[in-house]
Structure 1
């Protein structure tokens, strides 16, 4: 529909001014969204867009991306054009006339695996290699984000004097220590043995999950691993992000406090739990302990 065209030199200088206080990751994210818009516009400069251009673009992305992604793209562009208006490059933000893509934060059954479905997934773990088994069980039992798993290092895994296992997840304000499920740690030990590493975990900067060609793994690698596991279990309707939602919903259903879930998942507010109020009936009658002590979960038989 459109030809690929990045920002011109002048526009990029403006963007650098806009993004000077952003982190490198956020800056890159903003640039990709603004460049996407620029490509859609073909030869038109960013400062000359109209509300009709903006509306056509939002309609276009609605057909290609998930609602949450569309909302993010809209928010980024709205913020960028507010900057242009504030700095007097333009008189009016054209995105103010475009309806923001609406995304409900309430989770439905489509976002959450039931205990029976998780058991089906556990039943096919033997068909995966040891690294991939660890990845699946780690996601299921910690509710971590994909980037947290990808960036996990051996220094982040700990054992206390009572043989409880823990891992450090997140960064900055979202950094937290969470308890590991015993079976998850057993698989980690098997993975170390298979990889030729020493039995005792010593703190190091090495990444836990690697590939044959790299000393680290990518989000895309993990999504492919999850997709394969879900397909083997006959659960292709789900995706990697649904493990996090499932952890929250099941732990809440089994009695975990909202504050516990907040601490486990790194939420900024415990009231995020309200998003799961409509799915608690679908998931069967310190967060990971609620999973570890539930007799209906096959993972606890491992």
Structure 2
């Protein structure tokens, strides 16, 4: 069995059997491709069904020299999944990563933005900004308001459809990981900024075929890319002199954190974020000490 054939079959399995998104499939494939590249560079001629634990250990050891513990753990997890697939398909009987332990990593809580910082970033948007005749400032405001106001992943934002907007009912339909759909509440202010963009800006964009229902478009009439959303946020952070390292995911985390600080329950946050397990939400949401102290002082029966 050749590596590329095995990888092709594995990608198909991830898509059809496990229902993973395109981005997740690419990430899993990247882990396997790193191993393939290592074997080629070192002239190690082994197949996916004959590779030994020792060779994989050496690969991980070499990789650990240039990546952090979290990336190393992610790599091991990705490779373990690939070889589990080969076991599942009866190509091999034992996963060569069975005895390889992932390094212990601490829980890394992402940065959050305060409400004032959120406001500063959004207020820094130049609403009069025009690019190729399109008021992209108005579009960018709608993007950030939606990203924060609904706690979306960046891929969920860029994939949002006009047909997913149910403003009369106060919800939007979001397609998350594994194409799983959920309804997320959307407040009146966020609806307002989306409507301004949709009715006053988007109507002037010459929409390319296939993107008629896509909500957020670039100036060429195609779906906005994830990279462009990163760029918009990075430029705004530089504009206001924000020193934190932020990304679109920071807005999602801040959304959950602010809800929690205002006494929203974890179960509700879990449903809005689209987490399958409440454990994920507990890890994801940053519980700061001051908030915990207030909760105890307010609710403890023997305070």
User: What is the aligned counterpart of 2:257 among 249, 262, 281?
Assistant: 249
Structure with more contact order per residue of length (Cα contacts < 8 Å, sep ≥ 6) = 1
Query: Comparing 144-153 with 80-89, which one deviates more in the overlay?
Result: 80-89
Deviations 1:138-169 (A, max 9, x none): 11111111111011011111222xxx642111
Partner of 1:71: 73
| 5+ long unaligned stretches in structure 2 | 17-21, 130-136, 205-210, 295-303
Question: How far 1:216 moved relative to its partner?
Answer: 0.6
Residues 58 and 220 (structure 1), Cα distance of their counterparts in 2 relative to 1, 3 Å cut? farther
Cα distance change, pair 238–19 in 1 and its aligned pair in 2 (3 A): closer
Is 185-194 or 122-131 further displaced after alignment?
Answer: 122-131
Query: 1:94-128 deviations in whole A, cap 9, x for unaligned?
Result: 32343314444x453x5222223223323313376
| Conserved? CA contact 1:166–1:179, under 8 Å | yes
Q: Residue 54 and residue 253 in structure 1: after superposition, are their counterparts in 2 closer, same or farther (change >3 A)?
A: same
Contact 1:114 1:282 in 2 (8 A): no
Q: 1:279 to 1:189 in 2, by over 3 A?
A: same
- Is 1:114 aligned to 2:106, yes or no? no
Q: What secondary structure is seen at the aligned counterpart in 2 of 1:169?
A: strand
C-alpha distance in structure 2 between counterparts of 1:115 and 1:165, whole Å: 23
Q: CA RMSD in A?
A: 3.3
1:181 aligns with 2:179: no
Q: What residue number does 2:246 align with?
A: 238
1:154 aligns with 2:162: yes
Aligned partner (choices 221, 231, 234) of residue 228 of structure 2: 221
The answer to whether the 8 A contact 1:141-1:181 is kept is yes
Structure 2 partner of 1:10: 2
CA contact 1:68–1:103 (8 Å) conserved in 2: yes
Residue matched to 1:167: 172
Task: List per-residue Cα deviations over 1:15-56 (Å, max 9, x = no partner).
Answer: 344454321735544333212210122232343544343234
Contact 2:7 2:32 in 1 (8 A): no
Pick aligned residue for 2:145 from 133, 137, 152: 137
Cα distance change, pair 126–64 in 1 and its aligned pair in 2 (3 A):
farther
Instruction: Identify the residue that residue 124 of structure 2 maps to in structure 1.
Output: 124
1:283, CA displacement in angstroms? 11
97, 100, 104: which one aligns with 1:98: 100
CA distance in 2 between partners of 1:248 and 1:284 (Å): 18
Q: TM-score, normalized by length of structure 1? A: 0.74
- Tell me, what secondary structure is at the counterpart of 1:94? coil
What is the CA-CA distance between 1:65 and the residue it aligns to?
Answer: 5.5
Number of aligned positions between the proteins = 267
1:274-294: CA deviations, max 9, x gaps?
223543637998xxxxxxxxx
